[in-house]
Amino acid sequence: MSNKYNLDKENSITDEIYFRNRRKIMSSSLVIPFLLNSSLFASTRKNLPFIKDTEFSTNEQTNTIKQITSYNNFYELGSGKRDPMFNSDKLKTDEWTLTIDGLVEKPLVLSMDDLIKRYQLEERIYRLRCVEAWSMVVPWIGFELRHILKEVKPLYNAKYVSFESILDPVNLPGQKRNVLNWPYREGLRMDEALNPLTLISVGLYGKVMPNQNGAPVRLIVPWKYGFKSIKSIVKISFVEDEPICTWNQQAPDEYGFYSNVNPYVDHPRWSQKRERRIGEFGKRDTLLFNGYSKFVNNLYTGMDLEKFF
C-alpha cells in the first residue's frame, strides 16, 4: 500500500448521482458535460509548499478531489450535501484575518499570508468520520494547532479553546435564516488542542482550501465526529469554561461536547457502529476514536464515554 492519490475516476456512484442532478439543474441542454466537468473541477487553486507527514497519515486510498468537494456539510452554504459546492462562490475569503485572543500572554491577528509563511505546512492524510455515518480520506495540508499555542502562551487559567466561524449573513445563504445559532462555534479541551493530531488546515490535495471545505482556514480533529472540525475560522479564543458548541447547543441530547467517534455509543436516532466510505457500496466497521486510539486514548482514561459522549 502507498499514499497514492485516487485521481479522478469518472465512474464512482457519487459522481454519477452528482452529474445526473447537475444536468437536471442546468436547464440549458447546450452545456456539454465536458465543459461542465472542466469548469467545475479544473483547479485554479494556488499550490502550497509542504512536506509529507508519515507519522500520523493513513495509507488508505484517498477520496477523489471530486468526492471531497461535492459532498459536504457546510450549513453556511446550505443544508444539502451538494449546496456547498453550488454556493461555493458565496463565501468571501478576501482580506481574511485569524484572531487569536482570550487568556493568552501574546494575542495575535494573522493574515492568511502570515499564517501560511509562519508555520511549516505538512500533508496529513486523515480519515474524517461524519456523525451521519459516512467517512472520507483526505490529504489535508496544515500544521499542528499546538504550534500556535506555543506562540501565544495560554495563561494558567485557560482550560479550553473556543473556535468561531465567519458571520456574513449578507453573502452566506445559510445565514439568512436561523437554521443554526450563527456564527458556528466549536471547542476543545486544552489537552485535546495540544494533541499533535489536531490540525489547523489551509488546504487539501496540495493546494489552498476549496471554499466548500472551509476556506481559508479550518480545524481538523480526526478522532471526533466531523462537526467538531469547524470551517472558515475567524477567531480562536482561550477560555476558562467549556465553550458553547453549535450542535451541542442545538440538540444537547444528540451531540455532546466531546463527540469522540465511538461505535459503542449510538446516536439516539441511528447506530454509529458502521459507516459508508464515500465512493464505496458496502459499509465498514467504525473504529473507536476513528482508529486513532493509539494517539488519543490517554486523553480519556477514567472518563465514562457514555456520559461524556
Ligand X SMILES: Nc1nc2c(c(=O)[nH]1)N[C@H]1C(S)=C(S)[C@@H](COP(=O)(O)O)O[C@H]1N2
74 near ligand X, judged by CB under 6 A: yes
Provide the residue type at 257 as one letter: F
Q: Does 62 bind ligand X (CB under 6 A)?
A: no
* 185-189 sheet: strands from edge to edge: 108-111, 97-102, 233-239, 160-165, 185-189
The string of DSSP letters for 90-136 reads GS--TT-EEEEEESBSS-EEEEHHHHHHHS--EEEEEEEE-TTSEEE
- Does position 73 interact with ligand X (CB under 6 A)? The reply is yes
Closer to ligand X by Cβ: residue 22 or 81:
81
User: Quick one: what does residue 158 bind among ligand X, Mo ion, none, with the CB cut-off 5 to 8 Å set by partner type?
Assistant: none
**116 near Mo ion, rule: CB under 5 A:** no
The interface region with ligand X, picked from 15-23, 70-78, 95-103, 147-155 by CB under 6 A, is 70-78
> Chain centroid to CA 260: how far?
14
Q: Which of 85, 98, 104, 130 binds Mo ion (CB under 5 A)?
A: 130
Q: Residue with C-alpha cell 452528482?
A: 18
- Write down the least CB distance from residue 35 to ligand X, Å: 25
CB of 76 vs ligand X, minimal distance in Å: 6
Q: State which H helix or E strand residue 199 sits in.
A: strand 199-204
Closer Cβ to ligand X, 86 or 103, answer by number: 86
Whichever of 130 and 161 has its CB closer to ligand X, that residue is: 130
Buried b (16+ CB within 10 A) or exposed e, 277-297: bbbbeeeeebbbbbbbeebbe
Among 6, 69, 70, 73, binds Mo ion (CB under 5 A): 73
**Single-letter residue type at 182:** W
- Based on the shown chain and the rule CB under 5 A, indicate whether residue 226 belongs to the binding site for Mo ion: yes
Out of 224, 231, 235, 277, the residue judged to bind ligand X by CB under 6 A: 231
**Contacts with ligand X, 187-226, as mask; x by CB under 6 A:** --------------------------xx-----------x
Of 56, 229, 203, nearest to 135 by C-alpha is 229
Phi-psi region of 288 (alpha: psi -120 to 50; beta: other; left: phi over 0): beta
Among 86, 184, 255, 292, binds ligand X (CB under 6 A): 184
